[in-house]
Amino acid sequence: MRGKRLPWLFLIGTIVLANLLWFVTFYLDAGVFWIKISISASLLAVISLFLKPKRREQFRVDLKSVLIGLASAVILYGIFWAGKEIASLLFPFAQQQIGGVYAKGEGSRMGIVFLLLFFVTGPGEELYWRGYIQDSLMERFGGGGGFLITVALYAAVHIWSFNFMLIGAAAVAGAFWGAMYWRLGNLVPVIISHSVWSAFIFAVLPLS
């Protein structure tokens, strides 16, 4: 019984750690935001790989996976563009809070931000949130249950930003990538989608 409990204690421990890392990253002003989020994502990814080595079927690299990843990144960008327009009409604070998200990284060189998001933060977050947390929860609670709990956890960890728009954005993005992983069972298109989307929405074609 104790042996069966340990994996879940470790999983809960990483969720506590994720909240601590996101608190330091989003709430505390010390340090460079993009460096902090990259270190946080990398640390969680490494821990998740140690606790639950990934299966071969979770990393199927082929043309279809690449195309799905690229197409889904474009679709998600469009969803966020439309969401920003609608939110700006419905909520007086929307524009200010969206601007506040981008203000976190002010002063950083966009080329460096692009590289960090594309090669570090995007892959790191997916290895942890979908490859470890969602995968583990789907094994325990089924596809739908594991998906919903992971979306809730992914959105909740962003509460340390105290930014309603960012928490909502995290819920939408988490549901999008979570649904992809639930449907495909392959991290490759999800990693590509996250990496391309985040690099473009923050460093190339920002919505602020």
**Per-residue pLDDT in tens (0 to 9) along the chain, 208 residues:** 444 566 899 999 999 999 999 999 999 988 999 999 999 999 999 999 999 998 888 999 999 999 999 999 999 999 999 999 999 999 999 999 999 999 988 888 999 999 999 999 999 999 999 999 999 999 999 999 999 999 999 999 999 999 999 999 999 999 999 999 999 999 999 999 999 999 999 999 999 7
Q: Which two tokens stand for residue 141?
A: 């609670």
- What is the distance between the alpha carbons of residues 107 and 16, in angstroms, rounded to a whole number? 30
Give the structural domain span for 45. 2-204
- For residue 5, the model assigns a pLDDT of 66
Domain tally, the chain? 1
- For residue 4, the model assigns a pLDDT of 57
Residue 192's closest CA among 118, 130, 94? 118
